Amino acid sequence: MLSFVPSPGRAGLSGRAVLSVFALLAALPSAESVPSRLARSLAAQIAGAARGRPVELAVPEDRTGRGPGFALDLQALTVLRLREAGSALADTGPRLRVEAVVTEGPDRMVVSARVVEEPGGGLVDVLSASVETDQASLPLSVLPRPPATASLDVLSSYRTPPLEETVLAIAPLGEEHLVALSPDDALLYRLEATGLAFQSRRALPGPPSTVRAPAGLIAAAPAEQAFWALTNRSPRAALFAVAGGRLALREEAAALPWPQSEDGLRFRPGTNLIEGRLQGVGAGPFVAVGEGLAVAADGSLLPRGSSDLRVGTALTALWPGAVAASSALPPGSADSILILATDSQGVRLLDSLPVDGAIRALARQPLGRADRLIAAVEAVDGTFHLVVVDLSRRAP
């Protein structure tokens, strides 16, 4: 039987949400964080190579995308460890200069360094240190805050390290949880002050079919602590509930129950095209759906899209009269979160927030006067990470 867990209306700003925002803003790596462990490992290697000679540690070149402060933090932590180990530090005179590059994969952070003699620049040694990154804990790193625009204030912006998963869809489940779909699983994360903590995983109904472009949909019911999920690999939609910090499969259905659709939504077999009729929007196929919104197969935003404005395959509603969508730029272009105004006049672009990759999914979490946008972003190397943007409307 097809059933739907009704989604509540927009929640007001709760005290807990405010605390969460401010805690995120203040987030710093803890003593046992990945950078701290990496700094300890790197310092040990440097001390071994230096053999008592003075050391200068340059600011590492950061290729992790964790933000501008990360490399400075790593340098400071490493210097601290060197001092604790009794190493001499110097930035003039005869010394060893350490020039490091830090990179990050889904499960390890790696720092590689050249040790050169100064003055002269002769190569003395090449070092490499790495530590496992904890996928159960995804710390948020602060990103540079883009300048305010005519219509938006970006309060803060963060990103997670690379995830192990391909992310097809995301949705907040109340203030405490974020749910996501990978091609084969539903995933549950707990939203914490300093990041996300992985909590639970459940397989979607099988057997999975082979598709070239996996896609997924989530219809969340935060009040019920439950959500319906469907991917184009899975033959049936599944209702999951959060119980005791774990996901439990409650029910399956032939179609994904959706608030504005009487018959629910399905994927056209083998494709990422969403089929179904949406009240106020019309019949599919769609490539993305939101609250009372959809993206048609030609990239136009329904129901009031204009012929010259195309969007991508990620979409979420923001405050009344505004939506966020990925861009429709072709391969080879960097993606942006488009903030669009929708009213009786049609759709117009308000703002554009560039991201470091291609946006594959968008979700919104209301924070009272502010909104939190969460984007699942695919980097150029094929890994996914989440970008969290807290923004507020500018008064007209």
Partner 1 sequence: MKERSPRPSAPGLLAAAAALSLLPALSWPALGPRYGGQLAVGTAALPATLEPAASGPGAVVLTQVHEPLLDVGGAGFPHPALAEGWSVAAGGREWSVRLREGLRFHDGAPVTAADAVRSLRRFLRGGTTAAAGLAAALEGGREYATGATDQVAGLTAADPRHVVLRFVAPRALPLAPLASLAASVTSTAGAGAGAFVPAAPVPGRKLALTGFNGHFGGRPYLDGLAIVPAGPTPGAAAEVRSGRIDLVPGPPGVSALAGTLLLVLDPSRAPFTDPKVREAVGAAIDRAEMVRHLVPGGDPAPSLVVPALLPPLGAPASPAAPTVSVSGSVRLAVDRSVAPPVSQRVVAHLTALGLDVSVSPLPGTEARAARAEARLLMLVPEVPEAALALRELLALAPSAPEAEAALDAADSEMDVDRRRRQLHRAEQALRDRDCLVPLASVPVSFTVRPGVHGARVDTAGRLILEDAWREP
Which residues are near partner 1 by CB under 8 A? 209-213, 268-273, 285, 287, 297-299, 310, 312-313, 326-335, 357-360, 378, 380-382
**Residue number with CB closer to partner 1 (335 or 351):** 335
CA 369 – CA 391 distance, rounded (Å): 9
Give min distance, CB of 131 to partner 1, in A: 21
Give min distance, CB of 7 to partner 1, in A: 26
**Residue number with CB closer to partner 1 (76 or 211):** 211
CA 213 – CA 201 distance, rounded (Å): 22
CA 246 – CA 183 distance, rounded (Å): 19
Give min distance, CB of 309 to partner 1, in A: 12
CA 92 – CA 315 distance, rounded (Å): 54
CA 233 – CA 269 distance, rounded (Å): 9
Cis peptide, bond prior to residue 8, ω within 30 of zero: no
Give min distance, CB of 271 to partner 1, in A: 4
Contacts of 345 (CB under 8 A, 6+ apart): none
Cα distances from 395 to residues 43, 114, 328, in angstroms, run 50, 52, 28
**Residue number with CB closer to partner 1 (292 or 299):** 299
Q: Sheet containing 185-191: which strands, arranged edge to edge?
A: 137-139, 195-203, 185-191, 177-181, 169-173
Give min distance, CB of 332 to partner 1, in A: 6
Give min distance, CB of 299 to partner 1, in A: 5
**Residue number with CB closer to partner 1 (248 or 329):** 329
Amino acid identity, residue 75?
Q
**Residue number with CB closer to partner 1 (316 or 326):** 326
Spatial contact of 327 and 334, defined as CB atoms under 8 Å apart: no
Give min distance, CB of 215 to partner 1, in A: 9
CA 25 – CA 38 distance, rounded (Å): 24
**Residue number with CB closer to partner 1 (73 or 335):** 335
**Residue number with CB closer to partner 1 (103 or 151):** 103
